[in-house]
Amino acid sequence: MDKKLGFKDFLSVDYAPGEPDQVKYNAKKRKVEAKAGYCSDKCCGSDVKAEDCPCPADCPHCDCNKNVEEALSLQQRMKRSRTMKKYASRMKIGRQKAARRMADPKRLKRRAQKQARNMLVKKLAKADYSTLSFSRKQEMEKRLAKLKPRIDRMAKKLLPKMRKLEQERKRGGARPTLDKAIAKND
């Protein structure tokens, strides 16, 4: 019977000498992920980011254009619509189950991010976001993309308030709002 192959048998370079296979595998994975988004050596090999890559979209050597998502066509939208209708009852049950559980930290962070984003939109738009034209909304999205670090800082500050809101929601009673949570904390 042949010897069972390990991760090190497939390596030409020992990424972490004297370490277990799992540690070596993780080191290799980190190195590969760090290079992701750059043009491969088989192609032009230059250290250009994906958006600056001169290669055509169907280049077989590089993964520069893998993450590009085109807008959905009408047929694709219709297909997604049918799929969502098919799973609507399952999703409803899932939402009900999730409502009975306490939100996990990841979900709370996402809520805080959304709240911070909405606060900035309100400040920048000086009008109700839903009443803005499509082009104005696109302009707002571009501005918000530049303000990502600010949104992250605001979200970090909002996180304890989000946690407090979630606890109030689980206790029951009146529907908690962010204003009440801020008033209680400050």
Q: Residue 103 and residue 162: Cα distance in Å, rounded?
A: 10
- Same-domain pairing of 87 and 119: no
Q: Residue 94 and residue 22: Cα distance in Å, rounded?
A: 35
Instruction: Quote the pLDDT of residue 127.
Output: 84
- Same-domain pairing of 84 and 148: no
Greater confidence (15 vs 162) lies with: 162
Query: How large is the average pLDDT for residues 131-151?
Result: 89
Q: Is residue 59 domain-resident? A: no
Instruction: Quote the pLDDT of residue 52.
Output: 62
Query: How large is the average pLDDT for residues 123-151?
Result: 89
**Contact between residue 13 and residue 28 where contact means Cβ atoms under 8 Å apart:** no
Greater confidence (110 vs 172) lies with: 110
Greater confidence (9 vs 162) lies with: 162
**Has this prediction a pTM greater than 0.75?**
no
Instruction: Quote the pLDDT of residue 156.
Output: 94
- Same-domain pairing of 111 and 135: yes
What type of residue sits at position 50?
Answer: A
- Same-domain pairing of 155 and 145: yes
Residue-averaged pLDDT of the chain: 79
Q: What is the pLDDT of residues 64-77, one digit of tens each?
A: 655 555 677 889 88
Domain of residue 93 covers 70-101
**Contact between residue 114 and residue 125 where contact means Cβ atoms under 8 Å apart:** no
Number of domains within the chain = 3
Q: Is residue 85 domain-resident? A: yes
- Same-domain pairing of 80 and 11: no
Instruction: Quote the pLDDT of residue 172.
Output: 82
Q: Is residue 58 domain-resident? A: no
Q: Is residue 75 domain-resident? A: yes
- Same-domain pairing of 96 and 113: no
Q: Residue 186 and residue 174: Cα distance in Å, rounded?
A: 20
- Same-domain pairing of 109 and 148: yes
State the residue for tokens 């001169």.
Answer: 54
**Contact between residue 31 and residue 15 where contact means Cβ atoms under 8 Å apart:** yes
Instruction: Quote the pLDDT of residue 129.
Output: 86
**Contact between residue 64 and residue 53 where contact means Cβ atoms under 8 Å apart:** yes
Residue 111 CB coordination number (10 Å):
20
H helices of the chain, in order, are: 21-35, 74-86, 88-100, 105-125, 134-146, 148-171, 178-185
Q: What is the pLDDT of residues 85-126, one digit of tens each?
A: 999 999 999 999 988 999 899 999 999 999 999 999 999 888
Q: Is residue 107 domain-resident? A: yes
Q: Is residue 157 domain-resident? A: yes
- Same-domain pairing of 82 and 128: no
Q: Which residues of 153-182 are buried (b: 16+ CB within 10 A; e: fewer)?
A: ebbeebbebbbbbbebeeeeeeebebeebe
- Same-domain pairing of 81 and 131: no
Query: How large is the average pLDDT for residues 41-70?
Result: 62
Structure tokens at 128: 């109700």
Instruction: Quote the pLDDT of residue 98.
Output: 87
Instruction: Quote the pLDDT of residue 66.
Output: 57
Instruction: Quote the pLDDT of residue 107.
Output: 92
- Same-domain pairing of 39 and 76: no
Instruction: Quote the pLDDT of residue 185.
Output: 47
- Same-domain pairing of 38 and 93: no
Q: Is residue 63 domain-resident? A: no
- Same-domain pairing of 108 and 155: yes
Q: Which residues pair with 38 in a beta bridge?
A: 49
